[in-house]
Every structure is written in structure tokens, then in C-alpha cells.
Amino acid sequence: DAEADAEADAEPEGSGAANTHVVAHHYNELKEAGRRERHKSKIYFMRNFNNWIKSQLINEYMALIKNQKRVGDALRVLDMCCGKGGDLLKWDKALISHLICTDIADVSVEQCQRRYQDILQRAEKSKYGHKFTAEFFACDSTMVRLRERYKDASLQLNLVSCQFAFHYCFESLSQADCMMRNAAECLEPGGYFIATIPDAYEIMRRLKAAGPDARRFGNDVYSIEFEDDMMTEAPPLFGAKYQFHLEGVVDCPEFLVHFPTLVKLGRKHGLQLIRRSTFADYYKETMPQGRQLLQRMSGLESVQANRCANDEQFKHVAKAFGAQRGRPLGTLSKSEWEATTLYLVCAFKKCKNSWDA
């Protein structure tokens, strides 16, 4: 950890952003599957489960923020690396007042903006619809100071969310430092930064378990493969690159996140770590409050309503909900469970200054 401290304290210089264009290209090219296609996917239940985890996390910290506020106070959120806007409905349900969405993949940002317009139109038609303002721009959060792109650079945020993306900045210290500053600098004291990232300890544990000379591990829905030069010594704090493949969704380079370094970087920017939970633990902890939402999101109702699933899939879902035996989560296959338990959730609280953090 002394090494981590020294690296994180050092002034960022230069940049090793050799992979960001590969990542941007990958996500820009990704086609959004229709509902029917999604139902057929081998990771259908895992995607629903991951969505549920994000909902639980967002709801947990939005509730804490609302406790500090009065009814009618503005609630402002930054969705950093928003992708195609998979969390827009969550922000809508959280009754926020303003949202900033940004991602390196411009095609995704455009799609996100279109989804927002749809939500807004629906709200306008409905008597009780909730409306929130939003701004969108494409940029690399590891290289650009986001506040300079906001419509109001003095804007104070209540929540920053970075879902399944913060690990991309661990390509180099300067990128990680820039992304952490973006997460922290506009948060008002008492605000939160929440994220979901791969758990580097779990990745290294599975790599070791795969055998002394193994470079690759995984199953029929995901795989992680390291390059040869990563295998000779302990992984570096930054640039510990591996190729991540997730059935039909991800196929691009990612970086191990050395957790003590992440915490140290957070502290530098006034963020204090208040939660680090693996998905498996977070599921156990929040399941009692989130059971109904999970059942809805796990698709039992939508599978029934849309009659998209084949009979076999439907029987499988129905049976799983009837008797939650054997599997950690009724509907997830073993392969999906192995893939989702690669991740962890973390949350940081913004302090008045970095000394407090």
C-alpha cells in the first residue's frame, strides 16, 4: 500500500490513453437488441439482475440525499459513462430535477438523449408525469474536465453515478486522477459518488485457481484473458490490462482496479469510502427490501406479458420463482452468477475538504 500511496500522491503527468478509442469504438458499434432478442440472450437474467443492483444502489443513496433535503429542493445527478441511457428510468423514478449524461461513445449519447425525449414526451402526456431537465455531451471522462462542458460550470451535484465503467480509467494514473476529479469536484459536501466495478481481487483469485500458467478463465458467458507480459510479476497499479468478453455485450480491453489506490485517489479529491460490497454480499443485504422489484425486473411478469420466451425458458423462470433452491438467485444460471459475482459496488461521501476524507 505504501507503493499505492506514493503513486496516487504523485502529480499526474502524460497519459497512457492508448485504449480509450478501442473502447469508444466498441460501444459505438454495439447494436441495441430488441426485446425479443434480449429474451433469447444467455445473459438475459444477469442483465436484469445487474439492473436491479444498480436500482438498489441508486435508491439507497438517493434516499440518504433526500433525508438531508427539504421537499421541493433540487436534486442534481451526473451519470458519468451513461451509455445508451440504461439508467434513465431509474433517475425518473428517483424524481430528480436535473441530469447530466456523458459518455465517450457519441452514438450511445445520441441514443440516450432520444430515450430521454421519449420519457419527457410521455410525462407531458400524462397528468402526473414527472419531468426533469437534462444535458448530454460526448467526451472522454478520463481526459476532459467535465465541469467545463456543463451548461453551468458552477453547478452543485447531489449524486454522481458511474456504472460498470470506472475501471476504464485505470489505464494510467493521469486518467484515473482525472476521472476521480470529475466524480468529486462538483459534488456538494454530503453528496455521494456511487459506482459498480469489477473486483480485481476476485479476478486474480479466479486466475490463480485456473492453474499456475493460466492466462485465461471464464465460462460460456464471460471470459477474461491477460496478455503474457502481465503474467510474469504482480500486476501494476495502473495499466493492468485484460481482455473482457461478455456474451454479445462486451469485448474490449479493461483494467484491474487496485482498490487501495482507488480509495487513496478518492481521498485526494475529498471523497471518503463508505461502502465496498461484492455483488453477492449486496444482493444478500438488500434482498429483503428489494425482493418485489427484483421479481418484477427478473422478467417473470414481462415474460408472461410479452409471450416472447419459448416454453422452456418460461418454465425455468416460473420454477425458479416457485422454489428458490440450489441457485443463489432463482433465475440466474450458474454461468451468469459467476459472471455477475465478478463485480462490486462502492460508494463515497463528499467531505468538506480532502483533509476530512
Question: Residues annotated in the binding site for S-adenosyl-L-methionine, as ranges?
Answer: 54, 81, 103, 140, 163, 168
Q: Annotate 199-259 with DSSP letters as a single string.
A: -HHHHHHHHHHT-TT--EEE-SSEEEEE-GGGSSSSPPSS--EEEEEETTTEEEEEE---H
Positions 254 through 273 that interact with ligand SAM (CB under 6 A): none
Nearer to ligand SAM, 163 or 340 (CB): 163
Nearer to ligand SAM, 262 or 351 (CB): 262
Nearer to ligand SAM, 83 or 218 (CB): 83
Residue 82 binding ligand SAM, by CB under 6 A:
yes
Residue at shortest CB range from ligand SAM? 83
Alpha helices in the chain (DSSP H): 2-9, 20-29, 35-40, 44-68, 88-93, 106-125, 173-184, 200-209, 259-268, 279-297, 300-306, 311-322, 334-340
Q: What is the grid cell recorded at 160?
A: 454522481
Task: Determine the 3-state secondary structure of 311 from DSSP.
Answer: helix
Minimum Å gap between C-beta 196 and ligand SAM is 7
Report DSSP state, residue 148: G
Question: Taking contact as CB under 6 A, which single stretch among the options 61-69, 82-90, 185-193, 332-340 is the one that binds ligand SAM?
Answer: 82-90
Question: Taking contact as CB under 6 A, which single stretch among the options 140-148, 259-267, 283-291, 305-313 is the one that binds ligand SAM?
Answer: 140-148
Question: Which residue is it, cell 441511457?
Answer: 85
Nearer to ligand SAM, 144 or 210 (CB): 144
Dihedral of alpha carbons 95, 97, 102, 105, sign: positive
Going by C-beta distance under 8 Å and a sequence separation of 6 or more, which residues neighbour residue 238?
7, 16, 170, 171, 172, 173, 175, 176, 255, 258, 261
Residue 168 binding ligand SAM, by CB under 6 A:
yes
Residue 163 binding ligand SAM, by CB under 6 A:
yes
Question: Taking contact as CB under 6 A, which single stretch among the options 41-49, 79-87, 274-282, 312-320 is the one that binds ligand SAM?
Answer: 79-87
Q: What mask, x for binding ligand SAM by CB under 6 A, covers residues 89 to 108?
A: --------------xxx--x
Q: How far is the first Cα of the chain from the last one, in angstroms, to the nearest whole number?
A: 18
Residue 165 binding ligand SAM, by CB under 6 A:
yes
Question: Which residue is it, cell 461521501?
Answer: 349
Nearer to ligand SAM, 91 or 164 (CB): 164
Residue 297 binding ligand SAM, by CB under 6 A:
no
The C-alpha atoms of residue 9 and residue 11 are separated, in whole angstroms, by: 6
Vertex 187, ends 282 and 19: CA angle to 5°? 70
Q: Which of 39, 46, 65, 83 binds ligand SAM (CB under 6 A)?
A: 83
Nearer to ligand SAM, 88 or 351 (CB): 88
Q: Which of 164, 193, 244, 348 binds ligand SAM (CB under 6 A)?
A: 164
Question: Which residue is it, cell 443463489?
Answer: 328
The C-alpha atoms of residue 276 and residue 230 are separated, in whole angstroms, by: 26
Q: What mask, x for binding ligand SAM by CB under 6 A, covers residues 14 to 33?
A: ------x--xx--x------
Minimum Å gap between C-beta 71 and ligand SAM is 29
Q: What is the grid cell recorded at 111?
A: 441514443
Task: Enumerate binding residues for ligand SAM (CB under 6 A).
Answer: 20, 23-24, 27, 81-83, 86, 103-105, 108, 140-142, 163-165, 168
